[in-house]
Amino acid sequence: MKNIRNIALVGSSGAGKTSLAEQMLFNSKATTRVGKVDDGNTVMDFSAEEIEKGMSMTLGVANFNWKNTKVNILDTPGYVDFSGEQIAAATAVENLLFVVNAAAGFEVGLEQSIELLEDKKLAKAIIVNRMDNEGADFNKALELIKENTSMVPVPVFLPIGSEHKFTGVVDIIKGKAFIDGKVADIPADMADLVEESRMVLMESVAESDDDLLEKYFEAGELTDEELSKGIKSAIIAGTVIPAFACSATQNIAVDAILNAIVEYLPSPADMNELAIIEGDEEKTVVVSEDGNLIAFIFKSFSDPNVGDIAYVRVFSGTIHSGLDVFVPEKDSKDRIGNINTVIGKNRKDISDLKAGDIGGLVKIKVARGFDSIVKAGTEVKFPKPELPSSVYWQAIKAENQSDEDKIGSSLNKLLEEDPTISISMNAETNENVISGIGEQQIGLIKKKLKSRYKIECNLKTPSVPYRETIRGSADVSYKHKKQSGGKGQYGEVYFRVKPKPRGEGFEFINSVVGGTIPSKFIPAIEKGLNEILVEGIISGNPIVDLSVEVYYGSYHDVDSSEMAFKIATWQCLKKAFEVAKPILLEPVYEAKIIIPDEYMGDVMGDVSTRRGKILGMEQKGNKQILNAQMPLAELFNYYPALKSLTQGRGKFTQKFSHYEKVPDEVAAKVIAEANKKDE
């Protein structure tokens, strides 16, 4: 455990995470040439979709050796739609490296990534990459993080020059420069800056430990040894977030960063306390190689080119091929098959995987993403990571009717790969609805259905599950009478129809006296009502909040039948709806919209054009939370609109609130649309 470092690269799209991972793999001789994102030949982004877009869409896993230390590196996609991958990666590592584009200002992707991960009790560091780019500015990049988030980065590597003059870095802990891959003296013109930065770092490190603080006050400084030891503890405690400068594609300071990872960042042994759930109880246990097996699958997927694989982090004990294990989330036994060491798309069999390490399990039967794997006979599991809630919905339908049966099982397999997506069959609208975080993410599902399962499908905005009800009451009757040779049909019913308060559903009252309708036909009337309640009358949507009292009628000894009374019932209720002021109800959701102050006016205006109601506002850090109610019909496409209004910085969460009357002019459109479909 001491000789492992587990690192996740996170941050905005285009910051250079994949490029950095590729350069590290090459520098450590894990690969024989440097993969380039722009050439589509990286080992980390290997799916057809990633190569096509030139960006990561799923997290990639690799490992290499650096200075007798095994480094496991997880490269995550920065695009917001795939933020579930960053959460997944964070469950498997001790260290989060936020990769920042030095030339891009404060990017939305970085902001989202920090918000998503800042509360995780993990060591964090900032890598200011792309220092060679025009406009690169190390100090500004760090200033913007300080200004916009609660993270306070402390420089550990200062850049030497910038843009095309970026040649290396000064490691202020070592007091040495790294220029063109070699150790060198600190450039004379940087001496003061290095000294100043060293004092800042020393102070931050000292503040994280009482003993160090005392020494620091007595001696006025820390020794090199105290500083390099102290920094690791401070990083573990989260009191220091070290910042490093580099250029991935120019291979400047990448080796120095690798040294820093090994020397300053914590190993699994340094962070050996693990929060688990045993029974219903949350506990913290100290993990070790000798303990019972506790492992967690942070991602599983199947790629047509590389087959099925489940990426696993072992926290305690050892996994070896052939081991019988238990999967608590599935309440099922499982068995470990082949174990792989993984370098992106390349894999090799290994015999076992020990506590602290990360690898791949091939063709494991039961366990999937976010499942724990534990010693058979034990019941501990890993707490399920909190995932972002759905903000985007699409109804999915196979283009060919013959694929409709296949689509469900294929979708379920794809959903196992991305736990932020869910699918539900809406029985009311008869649609399969996929929900997730964004258009790119759902679009990827559509692409994969085609490339893997040969299913062409269409996506569209889902239908709204409207409801019908009435506002007035009616007292109506209907006589169904048919004489067409042979046996006729006869049944007559009298209904009193009234609305019921919202949410109270349907009530049937039988107050027929004196057998004007024989009691054997009453169930047929109730059944007839239940059938039409499902189908609706004005728009093909279910009827709710309605009371129907049958109080009188007539029958015929020979011609009356259950069918005849059902037909009379349907017609009678239709008649009642004509007089009882039918209305449509629609689901209304409560949305929490989180935006930077400057967008408040625009977002509020937009909410009202969406028939939304503002309930209130609260301040959260430097953001505003707008609480609003919005009809579902407007919420389906709200996220794309919010993103474009706020330059990608707006977010929201939602939950169902209640059903509410649809305004007449909107209802008229919905009803006309439904009638068109009927025809």
> Which residues are near ligand GTP by CB under 6 A?
13-19, 37-38, 55-56, 77-79, 99, 129-130, 132-133, 247-250
If contact means CB under 5 to 8 A according to the sort of partner, which of Mg ion, ligand GTP, none does residue 247 touch? Answer: ligand GTP
Residues 6+ apart with CB under 8 A from 392: 435, 436, 437, 438, 439, 441, 442, 636, 639, 640
If contact means CB under 5 to 8 A according to the sort of partner, which of ligand GTP, Mg ion, none does residue 132 touch? Answer: ligand GTP
CB of 156 to ligand GTP, least distance (A): 18
CB of 45 to ligand GTP, least distance (A): 7
Q: Which is nearer to ligand GTP, 3 or 41 (CB)?
A: 41
CB of 368 to ligand GTP, least distance (A): 24
Cα–Cα distance between 229 and 241 in angstroms, integer?
Answer: 15
Cα–Cα distance between 27 and 21 in angstroms, integer?
Answer: 10
Residue (of 512, 513, 543, 516) closest to 528 by Cα position: 543
612, 629 in Cβ contact below 8 A?
A: yes
CB of 12 to Mg ion, least distance (A): 10
By CB under 5 A, tell whether 76 contacts Mg ion.
no
If contact means CB under 5 to 8 A according to the sort of partner, which of Mg ion, ligand GTP, none does residue 374 touch? Answer: none
The window from 12-20, 165-173, 552-560, 652-660 that contacts Mg ion (CB under 5 A) reads 12-20
Q: Which is nearer to ligand GTP, 99 or 154 (CB)?
A: 99
CB of 56 to Mg ion, least distance (A): 3
Q: Which is nearer to Mg ion, 56 or 441 (CB)?
A: 56
CB of 55 to ligand GTP, least distance (A): 3
Q: Which is nearer to Mg ion, 18 or 463 (CB)?
A: 18
Q: Which is nearer to ligand GTP, 234 or 444 (CB)?
A: 444
Query: How are strands ordered across the β-sheet holding 457-460?
Result: 422-426, 431-436, 392-398, 457-460
Q: Which is nearer to ligand GTP, 99 or 125 (CB)?
A: 99
Q: Which is nearer to ligand GTP, 37 or 206 (CB)?
A: 37
If contact means CB under 5 to 8 A according to the sort of partner, which of Mg ion, ligand GTP, none does residue 426 touch? Answer: none
Strand, coil or helix: what is 529?
helix
Cα–Cα distance between 491 and 478 in angstroms, integer?
Answer: 8
Residues 6+ apart with CB under 8 A from 490: 480, 481, 482, 555, 556, 559, 560, 564
If contact means CB under 5 to 8 A according to the sort of partner, which of Mg ion, ligand GTP, none does residue 251 touch? Answer: none
Q: Which is nearer to ligand GTP, 130 or 566 (CB)?
A: 130
Which two structure tokens, joined as six digits, stand for 303?
A: 């790629």
Interior/surface letters 562-573, b for 16+ CB within 10 angstroms, e for the rest? eebbbbbbbbbb
What DSSP letter does each residue of 436-472 carry, written as one string? ES-HHHHHHHHHHHHHHH---EEEEPPPP--EEEESS
CB of 159 to ligand GTP, least distance (A): 12
If contact means CB under 5 to 8 A according to the sort of partner, which of Mg ion, ligand GTP, none does residue 267 touch? Answer: none
Strand, coil or helix: what is 11?
coil
Q: Which is nearer to ligand GTP, 133 or 561 (CB)?
A: 133
CB of 105 to Mg ion, least distance (A): 20
Number of residues that bind Mg ion (CB under 5 A): 3
If contact means CB under 5 to 8 A according to the sort of partner, which of Mg ion, ligand GTP, none does residue 130 touch? Answer: ligand GTP
If contact means CB under 5 to 8 A according to the sort of partner, which of ligand GTP, Mg ion, none does residue 340 touch? Answer: none
By CB under 5 A, tell whether 249 contacts Mg ion.
no
Strands (DSSP E) contained in 399-545 are 422-426, 431-436, 457-460, 467-470, 474-482, 489-499, 506-510
Q: Which is nearer to Mg ion, 130 or 198 (CB)?
A: 130
CB of 384 to ligand GTP, least distance (A): 25
Q: Which is nearer to ligand GTP, 34 or 512 (CB)?
A: 34
Q: Which is nearer to ligand GTP, 111 or 132 (CB)?
A: 132
If contact means CB under 5 to 8 A according to the sort of partner, which of Mg ion, ligand GTP, none does residue 312 touch? Answer: none
If contact means CB under 5 to 8 A according to the sort of partner, which of Mg ion, ligand GTP, none does residue 410 touch? Answer: none
CB of 57 to ligand GTP, least distance (A): 8
Q: Which residue has the tokens 């982004």?
A: 45
CB of 50 to Mg ion, least distance (A): 8
The window from 17-25, 203-211, 253-261, 275-283 that contacts Mg ion (CB under 5 A) reads 17-25
Cα–Cα distance between 52 and 113 in angstroms, integer?
Answer: 24
Residue (of 495, 500, 502, 673) closest to 576 by Cα position: 495
Amino acid identity, residue 378? Answer: T
The window from 15-23, 460-468, 484-492, 611-619 that contacts Mg ion (CB under 5 A) reads 15-23
Strand, coil or helix: what is 77?
coil
CB of 28 to ligand GTP, least distance (A): 17
By CB under 5 A, tell whether 18 contacts Mg ion.
yes
By CB under 5 A, tell whether 86 contacts Mg ion.
no
434, 386 in Cβ contact below 8 A?
A: no
Q: Which is nearer to ligand GTP, 113 or 624 (CB)?
A: 113
CB of 135 to ligand GTP, least distance (A): 11
CB of 55 to Mg ion, least distance (A): 6
Q: Which residue has the tokens 């009202």?
A: 608
Cα–Cα distance between 262 and 253 in angstroms, integer?
Answer: 14
Q: How far is CA 489 from the centre of its chain?
A: 59
By CB under 5 A, tell whether 56 contacts Mg ion.
yes
271, 123 in Cβ contact below 8 A?
A: yes
169, 246 in Cβ contact below 8 A?
A: yes
Amino acid identity, residue 403? Answer: D
Distances (CA, A) of 492 to 474, 507, 513, 514, 540: 16, 20, 14, 15, 25
For 580, half-sphere exposure in the C-beta direction (CA atoms, 13 angstrom radius) is: 27
What is the pattern of x (binds Mg ion, CB under 5 A) and - over residues 160-179? --------------------
Kindly give the pairing relationship between strand 176-179 and strand 467-470: unpaired
Binding site for Mg ion (CB under 5 A): 17-18, 56
